[in-house]
Structure 1
C-alpha cells in the first residue's frame, strides 16, 4: 500500500459561507462541508476532513458563546506584526460549549472515505485562565475541568469512528519564544499527557499531535525558533502519530535527523510536504523529493505525509484561496504516490 497521507484540517471557506447571515449559516456550512469533502475525494485523498468549515477557529470552537469570557486575553504575535488574541476566562466552572464530534458526524454524512477530526490541545485552552486567578475558582480546579472536557472531546470522536483524532498543538513552538527555558512547554506537555494517559494503548494509536510554527494571514508566530528545542520534548507525548511541519522548515535535514533520533516506539510520523503559506503550488515531483528526503532519515513503514498546517485555521483568513489549497492537496496526494512507487511501497 502507498504511504499514508492526510490533511491537517482547515481549508479556506467559500465566499457564500463567509458572507452568510445567521439564518443562512447552517445551510452554507453544510454546503461548504459537502463541497470540501467532495473535492478532497475527487483528488484521491484517502482520508478527508470537513475543512473546519463550521469552526470559528481551530482554537476557539469549544468556547464559542461561553458567557464567562473577556476579550482581553493572551496575545499571539505574528512575524508580520499582526496579532491574534485569545479570550480570558472570568468565572468557573469551565465547560465546553461545542464539541468536535458534532463536526465529525456532519462530515461523515457526506464522506465515502475515512474522516479524521482535529481537536484543540488542552494546553492551548489552559491559556484562558488569567495570571491573577479567579476568585472562588483556583487554577487547579480549572485544569481538572479542562482535562475532563478535553478527554470527553477526544473520546467522543474515537467512539464515533474518527479515523484519527489530531490534537492541534501549535502553541508548542511559540512557548519556547515566550519562555526560552522551556518551563511553559514542559507544563504544556504534562497537561496534554495527563489527558492522553486516560486512553488505552489501542486508543492512543488513533490519536495524533500536530505541531507547526503557526500559520495565519501568510505569516507565522515561531518559525524563528530552533526545532531542536521542541522536537525531543514533543515526542514525550503519548500519542500514536505526529504531524510535523517540515516543508517550510529552513533546514529540514537537521530537523529530520532530530526526529529520527527521538522517534517514539511504534509512532508514525506524518511529514509536512506542502507549505500552505507559500502561494506557489508545489509540483508532485517536489513533493516526491521531500518524501524521499524524509525516507533517508525515517523508517518507511512509520512514515506518512501531510500539509505543514491548516490552510485557514481562523475562519476570516482568506490569504490563501480555496483553489490554491486544493491544488496543494492534489500535489501532496500525487507526490506521495510517486514517492511510494520509488520506495516500493
Structure 2
C-alpha cells in the first residue's frame, strides 16, 4: 500500500474473553485457563486483520486488563484511591496510587508481543503505556523513604527496559500511548504538567539511538472509552507544539473525530518535524457508524493537501477498547471500520497516482 496505514492498538474482546476476565477476578477461573482464552482471542484478532489485508498487525490488547495499568498487574504497594479521569458522558476511570517503592513493572508488553509472534510472520506493532501516564501513580503528599525523584528514576528505567524488550522481540514499531497529553491541558491549562510529561518521556526516549527511535512512535487522542472522550474540548493548539518535541520518528494523531480537521492539519503542517511521519486518524472509534471507504478516501486526500505524502500515513483515531470491560463497540464493527480504513487509504493512493 502506497500510503502506510496501521491500527492503533486495542480491539474489543470476544464475549468468551470478557467472561473469562470476570470469572478470573472472582477466583473461579485459574491463570492457565485465562491464558488459554486470551491466546484464542489473540489468534483470532491476528487472523482477522491478516484476512482484511492489514500490512501491520496488532494483538488488540487481548491480554491486557487495560492499556494503562497492565504493568501493575499483581503489584503490591498500591491503593485504589488515585487520580480520577472524568469522561464527557459522565463516567469515570480511576487510577491506583502508589504506597511504597521501589517501583517495578510486573508485566512488560514484550510478553504480549512474543505470544502474538507465535501466530504470524507479518509485521506487528506493540503499544506501550507512556511513562508520563504512570507518573500519575505517585501521591501528591509523597511516600516516606521513597522520594518522587527516586520513583521517576525507577519509572524511566522500567519504561526503557519495556521498550527495548519489544524492539529486541522484533516489533515493527513500538508506540507510546500518550492519551494523557491532551488530558493534561484540562488538568493544568498552564501547560506545566504537559511540559513535565514531555520531559519525562524524552528522558526515556533519549536513551535510544536514532535508528531505534525511527521504529518508535507516540499516539495521542482525547480518550476513547465507552464511546466518550475525556479531553476533546482541550485545544490541539496547546498540545501539538510540545507533542512534536518528543524524539520519535512517528506520530499517530486523532483527527477523524475532530470538529475542525482543516485547522488541525494546518497546525500539523507548520510544526511537523522533518524526517518524521504523521499517521492521521481517518476512522472514529467513538462513532458507532461505520465509515465508507469513500469517506475515508476523502479524509486522506484532505490530509494530503496539507501534509507531504512522503510524511503521511493513516490510522484509526484511537484504540477501540483500551479498557477490557468496554463493550460499547462490537468486535465486528471495529473490524468493519478497519476494513474501511484499509480500502479508503488505497483509494486515496490511487487518486494521488501513487
TM range (shorter): over 0.9
Within 2, Cα distance between the matches of 1:47 and 1:83?
32
Q: Which residue of 1 aligns with 2:314?
A: 305
Pick from 219, 222, 226 the counterpart of residue 228 of structure 2: 219
Q: Which TM-score applies when normalising by structure 2?
A: 0.97
Pick from 290, 295, 311 the counterpart of residue 281 of structure 1: 290
Q: Which residue of 2 aligns with 1:3?
A: 3
Q: Which residue of 1 aligns with 2:26?
A: none
Counterpart check, 1:250 vs 2:259 = yes
Cα-to-partner distance string for 1:95-127 (whole Å, 9 max, x where unaligned): 000000000011111123100000000000000
Counterpart check, 1:177 vs 2:221 = no
Q: Which TM-score applies when normalising by structure 1?
A: 0.99
Q: Which residue of 1 aligns with 2:241?
A: 232
Cα-to-partner distance string for 1:190-249 (whole Å, 9 max, x where unaligned): 000000000000000000000000010110000011111101110000010000000000
Give the count of matched residue pairs.
Answer: 345
Within 1, Cα distance between the matches of 2:149 and 2:339?
45
Pick from 310, 316, 327 the counterpart of residue 325 of structure 2: 316
Within 1, Cα distance between the matches of 2:304 and 2:121?
30
Within 2, Cα distance between the matches of 1:242 and 1:73?
29
Cα-to-partner distance string for 1:59-90 (whole Å, 9 max, x where unaligned): 00111110110010000010111100000000
Counterpart check, 1:162 vs 2:175 = no
- Tell me the C-alpha RMSD between the 2 structures: 0.6
Pick from 97, 100, 117 the counterpart of residue 126 of structure 2: 117
Counterpart check, 1:266 vs 2:275 = yes
Within 2, Cα distance between the matches of 1:108 and 1:324?
25
Q: How does 1:202-213 map to 2 (within 5 A)?
A: 202-213=211-222
Within 2, Cα distance between the matches of 1:113 and 1:46?
7
Q: Any stretches of 5+ residues in structure 1 without a counterpart?
A: none
SS at match of 1:230: helix
Within 1, Cα distance between the matches of 2:163 and 2:299?
31
Q: Any stretches of 5+ residues in structure 2 without a counterpart?
A: 24-28
Within 2, Cα distance between the matches of 1:256 and 1:38?
34
Within 1, Cα distance between the matches of 2:59 and 2:239?
29
Counterpart check, 1:137 vs 2:146 = yes
Within 2, Cα distance between the matches of 1:290 and 1:304?
12
Within 1, Cα distance between the matches of 2:61 and 2:337?
17
